């Protein structure tokens, strides 16, 4: 028993360190992406399986309220216009807890999607389980999924480009570069990039 104690202590320490880092987990490039069933602003449930013609998806965790998400909104719409015809439509997911961010309520999402004529689904991740599974931490946070066999594989994670303030000053379009590779059937040369964003508003435990 005495010999077991340090081992036990180690286990407890390990467990608690995991508990303290709920967002450290999540997908890495190459992981298989789980499907989800989330409510779109039109009331319909949307999943990755909903669109059998899709070769993949550009999944964007975004929201109504974050200035960075707002700054990228028109660029996200442009991405959909560019890549949906090539088989990679955008799916936008709002992971914010509406109780902490009232501007991200389902009704507010419906209003924004309508006002800005979103050409893609805008889903509410009400339990925040999808954001946790994917490992999203901020808005906007992008994941490119590519259909492989019966499922989808994470092929890119990160930023859209290198200038959130001004689309005209962008020098490197990280996502476009990755999409060029992915569509050509190659792994993305740069498959993970860093960006600044608003922390996801998690539900109070």
Partner 1 sequence: MSLLKTFGLSAGLLLAAHAGQAQRVAVLKLPELQQRLARPTDTTYVVNFWATWCGPCVQEMPGFEKVRAATTKQKVKFLLVSLDYASQLDKKVRPFIQKRGLQSEVVLLDETDPNTWLTKIDARWSGSIPFTLIVNNKTRRRATFEQPLTAPELTAALQKFLVP
- Give contact residues for partner 1 (rule: CB under 8 A): 23-24, 67, 101, 137-138, 141, 158-159, 162-165, 169, 171-172, 174, 193-201
Report in angstroms how near the CB of residue 194 gets to partner 1 at its nearest. 4
Report in angstroms how near the CB of residue 201 gets to partner 1 at its nearest. 8
- Cβ atoms of 45 and 37 closer than 8 Å: yes
- CA geometry: angle 153, 155, 161, nearest 5 deg: 150
Query: b/e per residue, 122-137, with b = 16+ CB within 10 A?
Result: bbbbeebebbbebbbb
Choice between 117 and 166, CB closer to partner 1:
166
- Cβ atoms of 21 and 132 closer than 8 Å: no
CA distance 47 to 38: 7
Report in angstroms how near the CB of residue 97 gets to partner 1 at its nearest. 12
Choice between 68 and 118, CB closer to partner 1:
68
Report in angstroms how near the CB of residue 191 gets to partner 1 at its nearest. 12
Choice between 121 and 135, CB closer to partner 1:
135
CA distance 14 to 8: 10
Report in angstroms how near the CB of residue 166 gets to partner 1 at its nearest. 9
Choice between 1 and 19, CB closer to partner 1:
19
Report in angstroms how near the CB of residue 205 gets to partner 1 at its nearest. 12
Choice between 109 and 198, CB closer to partner 1:
198
Choice between 78 and 167, CB closer to partner 1:
167
- Between the alpha carbon of residue 157 and those of residues 79, 193, 195, the distances in Å are 15, 7, 10
CA distance 134 to 132: 5
- Cβ atoms of 84 and 122 closer than 8 Å: no
């Amino acid at each position: 028993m005495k010999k077991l104690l340090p081992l036990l202590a180690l286990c407890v320490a390990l467990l608690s360190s995991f508990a303290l880092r709920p967002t450290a987990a999540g997908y890495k490039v190459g992981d298989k992406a789980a499907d989800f069933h989330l409510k779109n602003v039109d009331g319909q449930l949307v999943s990755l399986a909903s669109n059998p013609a899709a070769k993949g998806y550009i999944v964007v965790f975004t929201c109504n309220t974050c200035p960075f998400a707002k700054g990228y909104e028109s660029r996200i719409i442009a991405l959909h216009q560019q890549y949906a015809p090539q088989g990679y439509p955008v799916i936008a997911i709002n992971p914010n807890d509406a109780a902490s961010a009232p501007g991200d309520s389902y009704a507010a999402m419906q209003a924004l999607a309508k006002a800005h004529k979103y050409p893609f689904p805008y889903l509410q991740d009400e339990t925040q389980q999808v954001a946790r599974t994917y490992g999203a931490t901020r808005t906007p946070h992008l994941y490119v999924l590519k259909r492989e066999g019966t499922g989808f594989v994470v092929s890119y994670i990160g930023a859209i480009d290198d200038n959130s303030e001004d689309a005209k000053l962008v020098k490197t379009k990280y996502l476009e570069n990755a999409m060029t590779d992915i569509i050509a059937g190659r792994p993305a040369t740069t498959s993970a990039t860093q960006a600044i964003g608003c922390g996801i508003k998690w539900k109070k435990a």
